[in-house]
Structure 1
Amino acid sequence: MDKISLIAIIGGLTAILAGQALEGGHIGSLIQVTAFLIVIGGTFSAVMLQSTPKQFLTGLRMAGWVLRPPVHDQEKLIRDIVGWSQSARRGGLLSLEGYINNQKDPFVRKGLQMLVDGAEPQIIRDVLETEIGIFEHARKQAAKIWESAGGYAPTMGILGAVLGLIHVMENLSDPSKLGGGIAVAFVATVYGVGIANLFLLPIANKLKNLISLEVSLKELTLEGLIAIANGENPRIIEARLRSFLGLND
């Protein structure tokens, strides 16, 4: 559980509701189902229109990373790479074949298989860098749905405000209906701006940071595999990889 994200979500909502209460307003006045449907429905409909089904569904699943980000054991990864280099140094690259099936990450399996197959270091680099590029692009496109949603939400809030004002104008002869229309108008704007800046845009930026970490770990793996292919000393490989992630401090 990412506690700082949970604290941020609770803190943001508490700040808004407490501010409303301190100003003498009723918290219940911020609950408008009509405004919520306009902003959320319109925002995610626009996002769906611009995305492929795979990008949209992947982006929705990645939202869970905000509270439960992927677990990456950097130290274990370095120990594994050093262990592979020691094994290759003792028994040759063919000795790495026993490690392949134990790897859950397809990227690592592919790299080890290429080592076992005797591929040239430059070929390994070219293939795996292409894999990293494809992976990063796909992840960022999926995460982009949240950034896009953050851009559409305020506009949908304005749309909700306009619709509320239209409702007000249509019922000028009936004062009992004016309050509801005005409430929808203003609350829709609050929803659009608030949801965008409290949730959607921060989620997008959080996902970008997590994707960057995943890419960095893949790049670290690539450098380790290339070092093994070049027959470098395991201790030198470990020092380089630790420096790569800033773990020497």
Structure 2
Amino acid sequence: MDIFSLIGLLLALVALVGGSILKGAGLSSLWSSAAFVIVILGTIAAILVHTPPPVFKRALAIVRWIIRPPGTEGDALVAQIVEWSNIARKQGLLGLEPVVNQLDDPFLKKGLQMLVDGVEPEAIRHMMEIDLNGQEHQDLAAAKVFEAMGVYAPTLGIIGAVFGLIAVMKNLADPSKLGHGIAAAFTATIYGIASANLFFLPIASKLKSVIGGRSREQEMIIEGLIAIAQGENPRNIEAKLAGFLH
């Protein structure tokens, strides 16, 4: 679990609620059904038009990565690959066949299966790099969904504020409604700017970071499997893969 992301999300909520209370605006100022409809629903509407359905579904699937990023501990993965290299040296590549059925990671399982099947090292590298690049491209496109939401939300917040000011202008003859109307107008701006800068844009950046780390992990897997296929010494494999951890 990424505890920093969880703390960050909680602090974002505390900043909004606490700031509103400390400034004397109160909790009621943070809620506006009109602002919610214009900014939040409007942002969702824009992103549905902006994004192809498969990319949007992928974005919903990977958003959990900000709290629970995929992959294993780097040290544990290196130790696992070194263990496989020892098995291969003692029993041959076919000795790794029982290991294949125990793996849950499709990428790792596919690479090890090709290794057991005796596929040439360069062919293994080529096929696995195609998978890596394709998955990375798909995941980055999904992360950019939240980046786009961070662009649309502030603009829709301004639109909401303009609508609120229009309503205020229609009630200039009634001073008792002016203060409430202006406050409601600015609530939409808060929705737009706060959702973009405290949630959508940080989520997009965190997902890109997680995706980058996942790609480096998969590159390490490729190098480790190629080294096993080429019969390298387990100590040399461990030293080579240690560079990916830094």
TM-score (norm 1): 0.91
Give the match's secondary structure for 2:83: helix
The one-character-per-residue Cα deviations of 1:209-240 (angstroms, maximum 9, x if unpaired) are 11111111111100000101111001110111
CA root-mean-square deviation: 1.8
Structure 2 matches for 1:1-249, cutoff 5 A? 1-70=1-70, 72-246=72-246
Q: Amino acid of the residue matched to residue 62 of structure 1?
A: I
In structure 1, give the amino acid aligned to 2:164. Answer: G
Aligned length: 246
Q: Secondary structure at the match of 1:28?
A: helix
Contact 1:171 1:177 survives alignment (8 Å): yes
How far apart in 2 are the matches of 1:193 and 1:148? 13
One-letter code of the match for 1:95? G
Further displaced range: 167-176 or 219-228: 167-176
For the 8 Å contact 1:128–1:222, the answer to whether it is kept is yes
Does the Cα contact within 8 Å between 1:165 and 1:185 map onto a contact in 2?
yes
Q: Distance in 1 between matches of 2:213 and 2:173?
A: 60
Unaligned runs of 5+ in 1: none
Unaligned runs of 5+ in 2: none
Range 82-91 or range 139-148, more displaced:
82-91
In 2, distance between residues paired with 1:23 and 1:95? 68
- Percent identical among aligned pairs is 51
Q: TM-score of the superposition, structure 2-length normalised?
A: 0.92
Q: 1:155 touches 1:192 (CA, 8 Å); kept in 2?
A: yes
Does the CA-based 8 Å contact 2:153-2:196 persist in structure 1?
A: yes
The one-letter amino acid of 1:42's match is G
Range that drifts further, 158-167 or 69-78? 69-78
User: Are the counterparts in 2 of residues 160 and 184 from structure 1 also a CA contact under 8 Å?
Assistant: no
Deviation at 1:64, TM superposition (A): 2.0
CA distance in 2 between counterparts of 1:71 and 1:95 reads 25
Query: Residue type of the partner of 1:12?
Result: A
Structure 1 SS opposite 2:118: coil
